[in-house]
């Protein structure tokens, strides 16, 4: 074909020295035009048709695989393949130019293939995130590792093409660079190993609330990547934690609370020990009018009277026998109050107990679980419970302990002045 075109040019009277250049130039222009037409058809019709078909199908995976970002990168291969195949014909006789162009095209196609595989990996990650398992076992770190491997494989093939050496020749020298690569990619290697452990043991997942004070992290996990874990704190700041730090250090994961039936309330009030006493008949009559513990008071009276009779307790001293105390009755009231509270989960740990007395009084601790786990609602429930607990204590002739304030000292001065 080239010879026919050359003969035709000679018949037109064109110099024999110019005809090879004209023929080669014409062939190059024809190849470029053909590749441009192929590129137009591939992007305008083939890509659009496949994307349309994918959008019409009921399945979702093909929408991700055949999305324009993937198809457009594949379409770049069409003109490159045409030029690669036709270059030896168009540049016949120009061996150096053929070698340069074909090598450049090979490098171009290898890079495009790498980008296509990158897009497919991103697509696979997007499809995987549609499944519930993606929350517990994130694969972003593994995707990033695969991308790094693809990048290095691409670099090896590109260098082998430039040097005109087999890739095996270059791979044989990778061992000598292993120590350097270990230092350069230390965080990536540690993150990859940590990511496997995190995923295998289900230690942390996207959406978990974690606390890691050493890194100032207290909030929801946004992303578990190869080298970092992103946490959005409650003040909306973002904390980035090295992935391997979650394995080498310690952190608190609140997932168990989120998956349970309630959120723990664990707080105490300190009773002034000087206000604790045995209950006399007048006090018991008054406490018996409190709805939540009226039955408790009556039953307890009968129980103690029966015990004291059986034990032959004599004398009017309250030190003899068993008697109700105001702090014990107060504790029984708190149990009854919480038992009637609609926002307390009665199926989980339910405890109102005394802690060891200290210089701050006698702590009465409430250890229960709220039925509502949402932070704002939980705080409101907790505040409501302790508002009531603090306010009701004087009804049992008890005083909540607190350190003396300026008002207390001023009152003492007033009393001293009045006495003097």
Q: Are residues 86 and 174 in the same domain?
A: no
Rounded-to-integer distance, Cα 23 and Cα 3, Å: 9
Same-domain pairing of 250 and 267: no
Residues in the chain where the model's pLDDT stays below 70: 1-28, 30-31, 42-43, 45, 47-48, 50-69, 90, 93-94, 133-138, 141, 169-188, 199-201, 315, 405-409, 411-420
Given 227, 259, 291, the domain boundary residue is 259
Q: Are residues 232 and 329 in the same domain?
A: no
359 and 394 share a domain? yes
With H, G, I as helix, E, B as strand and everything else as coil, classify residue 83: helix
**Which of 78, 102, 130 corresponds to the end of one domain?**
130
- Cα 219 to Cα 210: distance, rounded to the nearest angstrom: 6
At residue 176, the pLDDT reads 56
pLDDT at 5: 47
DSSP 384: H
Task: Indicate whether 332 and 398 sit together in one domain.
Answer: yes
**Beta strand residue intervals within 173-312, DSSP E:** 209-212, 217-224, 228-233, 238-242, 252-253, 263-271
Q: Which residues pair with 267 in a beta bridge?
A: 366
Instruction: Please tell me whether residues 252 and 267 are part of one structural domain.
Output: no
What digits encode the pLDDT tens for the residues 209-252?
899 988 889 999 998 877 788 999 988 999 988 888 888 788 88
Residue 359 lies in a domain: yes
What is the model's pLDDT at position 361?
92
238 assigned to some structural domain: yes
Q: Are residues 246 and 332 in the same domain?
A: no
Exposed/middle/buried for 217, CB within 10 Å: 0-12, 13-18, 19+? buried
R_g (Cα) of the chain, nearest Å = 41
DSSP string, 145-208: HHHHHHHHHHHHHHHHHHHT--HHHHHTTGGGGHHHHHHHTHHHHHHHHHHHHHHHHT---TT-
What is residue 114's predicted lDDT score, i.e. its pLDDT?
86
Residue 412 lies in a domain: no
Distance CA 143, CA 125 (A): 8
Query: Do residues 138 and 206 lie in contact, with contact meaning Cβ atoms separated by under 8 Å?
Result: yes
State which residues form the domain around 179.
Answer: 167-259
- Each as own residue / partner, the long-range contacts of residues 313-319 (CB below 8 Å, 24 or more positions apart, any chain) are 318/278
The number of distinct structural domains making up the chain is 3
Please list, in sequence order, all residues whose beta carbon lies within 8 angstroms of the beta carbon of residue 2, skipping any fewer than 6 positions away.
23, 27, 89, 92
401 located within any domain: yes
Assess whether 268 and 228 both reside in one domain: no
Which residues contact residue 268 at a Cβ distance below 8 angstroms, ignoring those fewer than 6 apart?
A: 355, 363, 364, 365, 366
Terminal alpha carbon distance of the chain: 130
Q: φ, ψ for residue 311 (rounded to 5)? A: -85, 0
The pTM is what? 0.57
Q: What is the pLDDT of residue 323?
A: 87
Establish if 15 belongs to a structural domain. yes
Are 362 and 276 contacting, i.e. CB atoms less than 8 angstroms apart?
A: yes
252 with 372, same domain: the answer is no
What pairs with residue 352 in β-bridges? Answer: 366
Confidence (pLDDT) at 399: 94
Instruction: Please list the helix, strand and coil fractions of the chain in percent, rounded to the nearest 5, in that order.
Output: 60, 15, 25
- Which pLDDT does position 101 carry in this prediction? 79
Residue at a domain's end among 105, 130, 155: 130
What residues are paired with 219 via a beta bridge?
Answer: 210, 233
CB-based contact 361:385 (threshold 8 Å): no
Give the model confidence (pLDDT) of 259-308 as tens digits. 788 899 999 999 999 999 999 889 999 999 999 999 999 999 888 888 88
Q: Give the per-residue pLDDT at 10.
A: 46
Q: Is the dihedral of CA 151, 154, 155, 156 positive or negative?
A: positive
Shared-domain flag, residues 70 and 121: yes
User: What CATH number corresponds to the domain at position 331?
Assistant: 3.30.70.100
Same domain, yes or no, for 183 and 75?
Answer: no
Per residue in 172-193, pLDDT (tens digit) is: 656 655 666 666 666 667 777 7
pLDDT of residue 381: 95
Residue 304 lies inside a defined structural domain of this protein: no
Instruction: Say yes or no: 401 and 379 in one domain.
Output: yes
Phi, psi of 288 (to 5 degrees): -65, -15
* pLDDT at residue 182, rounded to an integer: 63
Indicate which CATH number applies to the domain containing 216.
2.30.30.60
Any domain includes 315: no
Asked if residue 283 belongs to a domain, the reply is no
């Amino acid at each position: 074909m080239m010879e026919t075109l050359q003969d035709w040019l000679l018949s037109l009277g064109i110099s024999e020295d110019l005809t090879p250049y004209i023929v080669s130039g014409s062939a190059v222009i024809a190849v470029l035009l053909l590749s441009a037409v192929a590129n137009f058809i591939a992007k305008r019709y083939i890509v659009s048709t496949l994307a349309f078909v994918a959008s019409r199908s009921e399945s979702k995976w093909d929408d991700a695989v055949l999305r324009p970002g993937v198809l457009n990168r594949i379409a770049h291969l069409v003109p490159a393949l045409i030029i690669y195949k036709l270059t030896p014909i168009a540049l016949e006789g120009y061996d150096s130019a053929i070698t340069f162009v074909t090598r450049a095209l090979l490098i171009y196609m290898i890079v495009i293939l790498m980008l296509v595989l990158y897009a497919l990996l991103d697509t696979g990650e997007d499809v995987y995130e549609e499944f519930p398992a993606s929350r517990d076992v994130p694969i972003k770190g593994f995707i990033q590792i695969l991308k790094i491997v693809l990048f290095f494989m691409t670099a090896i093939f590109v260098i082998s093409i430039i040097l005109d050496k087999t890739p095996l020749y270059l791979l044989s020298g990778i061992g000598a660079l292993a120590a350097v690569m270990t230092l350069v990619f230390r965080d990536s290697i540690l993150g990859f190993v940590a990511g496997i452990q995190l995923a295998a043991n289900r230690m942390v997942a996207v959406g978990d609330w974690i606390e890691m004070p050493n890194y100032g992290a207290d909030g929801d996990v946004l992303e578990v990547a190869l080298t970092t874990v992103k946490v959005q704190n409650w003040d909306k700041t973002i904390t980035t934690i090295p992935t391997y730090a979650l394995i080498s250090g310690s952190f608190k994961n609140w997932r168990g609370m989120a998956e349970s039936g309630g959120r723990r309330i664990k707080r105490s009030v300190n009773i002034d020990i000087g206000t604790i006493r045995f209950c006399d008949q007048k006090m018991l009559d008054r406490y018996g009018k409190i709805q939540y513990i009226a039955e408790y008071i009556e039953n307890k009276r009968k129980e103690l009277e029966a015990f004291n009779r059986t034990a032959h307790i004599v004398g009017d001293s309250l030190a003899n026998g068993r008697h109700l105390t105001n702090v014990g009755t107060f504790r029984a009231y708190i149990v009854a109050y919480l038992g009637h509270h609609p926002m307390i989960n009665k199926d989980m740990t339910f405890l109102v107990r005394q802690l060891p007395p200290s210089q701050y009084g006698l702590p009465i601790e409430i250890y229960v679980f709220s039925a509502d786990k949402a932070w704002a609602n939980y705080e409101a429930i907790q505040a409501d419970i302790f508002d009531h607990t603090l306010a009701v204590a004087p009804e049992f002739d008890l005083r909540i302990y607190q350190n003396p304030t300026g008002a207390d000292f001023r009152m003492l001065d007033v009393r001293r002045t009045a006495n003097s």
